[in-house]
Homo-oligomer: A and B are copies of this chain.
Amino acid sequence: MPTPNPSAAGSEPGGRPLPDDAVDAVLAAELGDALVTRAADIDPRYFTAYNEPAGVRPRALVRPRSVDDVSRTLALCMRLGQPVVPQGGLTGLARGAVALGGEVVLSMERFAGIEALDAAAGTITVRAGTPLQAVQEAAGAAGFTFGVDLGARGSCQIGGNLATNAGGNRVVQSGTARDQVLGLEVVLANGDVLTSLGKMVKNNTGYDLKHWFIGSEGTLGIITRAVLRLHPRRAARHTALVALDEYDGAVNLLRRLSTRFGNDIGAFEIMWPDFYDFGVKLTGTRSPFADPHPLYALIEHAGFDSGDDGERFAAALTDALDAGAIRDAVIAQSVADARALWAIRECTAEFPVRLDAINFDVSLPIGEIGAFVDRCRAALDRQWPGNVAYFFGHIGDSNLHVTVDGHSLAGVEHHAVYAFVYEMLRPLHGSVSAEHGIGLLKREFLPISRSATELAAMAAIKHALDPHGILNPGKLF
């Protein structure tokens, strides 16, 4: 029988915590100066979250170059009772990787690189600090596609993508970050290295440990390496912008297209008119439609270049038009056309600059999203007349984004807006975080989406794997 509690085995945290200004010296003495940056010397980028002012300076910065470095760091911190914040590219939107005061930051940026690509198995073995874009490029060079893509691809790290179970643009086709993982290596709170780097699709030998850590936001262990599934490259992409009468029509269109093309449908992005008009304005283009419409869908067919993919896709949209299922459609005739259509949807990159953005990333059963948008907009208008809000989402993934512009709400705290919108999800059993995670930002709203029994089960597991609570304390729970 194995030891019942791996994290408790062999080490107990030392007596009282060290004084704040002694931690970096102790770490440097035990781990070496090459690994440890003293508190005073830490560059502010290690304590500054995306689009925020600099936060709290950590007690020390550790930048491991190997799995063993991570293991030694955690074993030492556990002995010292020293909290640790794991850090990837710091591009998360839920403040899950920022220090709150008194922590050591463990950045994975130096443990980067691709260790292997197995073309027969269709897998890539990567280190946690590897930027997402580097994974995508290595996959592409071997004739594959990696299943996760998102705006921060150049600076986010694959370890962070897995720790937060990132979503992004390809979920409707390839699933979330979780669905890309075949094998995972994790360092536990006590420094034990849990290596499950199998390349096999099927492996029913006990609990599937990787799923315990994916999406756990660094609270159960630190991901060091992963074996990721690659997908055959879909070379033929056809993009259309469709105008619709109403939300239910969009759901029907998605079903209609899925029945005809399966998961060759690579994107299905819905934009309500406020968002669409704002996107058109921000991109400085003009709408390809002469008249305004109640709803817009940006749809991508991503296939294997069988020769007539484009014709089939166009025929399906023509059929939908003939059947009265859609109002109008334009199909991109060139890469430039397609980019122009995508630019409208991707105007969100400008949100941090143009807006005082209060962002929501919620999920609901797909059939309920349309009615929720109507109710939410009406409720916001009653509560804060004159508010400006943008609704859009990956509805194929049941994911709705809402951005309220704080500039339109003079004197209203962001927190009041969060509480107001999240509260509307409660009766619908909606999720307060579809893809961004909980981190620090949504912690207080977690009970809207999770029952007391669920939260208690999560806490039991947290306690089992990190009994002294040194891993990313204050996040998620």
Task: Enumerate chain A interface residues (CB-CB to B < 8 A).
Answer: 1-7, 9, 118-123, 143, 164-165, 167, 171, 175-176, 178-179, 188, 192-209, 211-212, 214-216, 220, 231-234, 251, 255, 258-264, 303-304, 306, 312, 363-367, 394, 396-399, 429-438, 442, 446, 449-461, 463-465, 476-477
B201, B442, B464: the one within 8 Å of A398 (CB)? B201
Distance in Å from the Cβ of A199 to the closest Cβ of chain B?
4
B204, B303, B397: the one within 8 Å of A437 (CB)? B204
Could you tell me if A460 and B4 are in contact, using CB atoms closer than 8 angstroms?
A: yes
Given contacts A121-B365, A365-B200, A366-B121, contact A205 B460 (CB under 8 A): no
- Chain B residues near A171 (CB, 8 Å)? 201-202
- Chain B residues near A476 (CB, 8 Å)? 206
Query: Besides the contacts A6-B453, A121-B366, A211-B211, what 14 more A-B pairs have beta carbons closer than 8 Å?
Result: A5-B459, A165-B204, A165-B208, A176-B202, A179-B179, A202-B394, A202-B397, A202-B399, A204-B433, A205-B438, A206-B438, A206-B450, A209-B457, A260-B304
Q: Which residue of B lies closest to A3 (CB)?
A: B456
Could you tell me if B120 and A366 are in contact, using CB atoms closer than 8 angstroms?
A: yes
Could you tell me if B460 and A465 are in contact, using CB atoms closer than 8 angstroms?
A: yes
Could you tell me if A262 and B304 are in contact, using CB atoms closer than 8 angstroms?
A: yes
Q: Which residue of B lies closest to A448 (CB)?
A: B205
Could you tell me if A234 and B262 are in contact, using CB atoms closer than 8 angstroms?
A: yes
Could you tell me if B203 and A208 are in contact, using CB atoms closer than 8 angstroms?
A: no
CA distance A385 to B10 in the complex (A): 49
- Chain B residues near A3 (CB, 8 Å)? 456, 459
- Chain B residues near A178 (CB, 8 Å)? 208
CA distance A120 to B365 in the complex (A): 9
Could you tell me if A457 and B453 are in contact, using CB atoms closer than 8 angstroms?
A: no
Q: Which residue of B lies closest to A399 (CB)?
A: B202
CA distance A304 to B95 in the complex (A): 43
CA distance A259 to B455 in the complex (A): 43
Given contacts A202-B167, A216-B207, A446-B206, contact A463 B251 (CB under 8 A): no
Given contacts A232-B259, A260-B306, contact A2 B456 (CB under 8 A): yes
Distance in Å from the Cβ of A150 to the closest Cβ of chain B?
13
CA distance A464 to B463 in the complex (A): 8
Could you tell me if B262 and A7 are in contact, using CB atoms closer than 8 angstroms?
A: no
Distance in Å from the Cβ of A10 to the closest Cβ of chain B?
11
CA distance A118 to B207 in the complex (A): 30
CA distance A437 to B197 in the complex (A): 19
Q: Which residue of B lies closest to A94 (CB)?
A: B204
Distance in Å from the Cβ of A444 to the closest Cβ of chain B?
12
CA distance A231 to B438 in the complex (A): 30
Could you tell me if A477 and B1 are in contact, using CB atoms closer than 8 angstroms?
A: yes
Distance in Å from the Cβ of A400 to the closest Cβ of chain B?
10
Distance in Å from the Cβ of A259 to the closest Cβ of chain B?
5
Q: Which residue of B lies closest to A363 (CB)?
A: B200
- Chain B residues near A398 (CB, 8 Å)? 121, 199-202
Distance in Å from the Cβ of A189 to the closest Cβ of chain B?
11
Distance in Å from the Cβ of A435 to the closest Cβ of chain B?
5
Given contacts A255-B120, A367-B120, contact A212 B209 (CB under 8 A): no
With most chain B CB atoms within 10 A of its CB, the pick from A195, A435, A457 is A457
Distance in Å from the Cβ of A260 to the closest Cβ of chain B?
6
Could you tell me if A204 and B255 are in contact, using CB atoms closer than 8 angstroms?
A: no
Distance in Å from the Cβ of A198 to the closest Cβ of chain B?
6
Q: Which residue of B lies closest to A254 (CB)?
A: B120
Q: List 13 A-B contacts (CB under 8 A).
A: A4-B460, A120-B255, A120-B367, A198-B429, A202-B434, A204-B433, A204-B438, A205-B431, A205-B433, A208-B215, A232-B262, A233-B259, A464-B464
CA distance A291 to B206 in the complex (A): 43
List of 7 A-B pairs having minimum Cβ-Cβ separation, nearest first: A211-B211, A120-B367, A464-B464, A202-B434, A2-B456, A6-B456, A200-B363
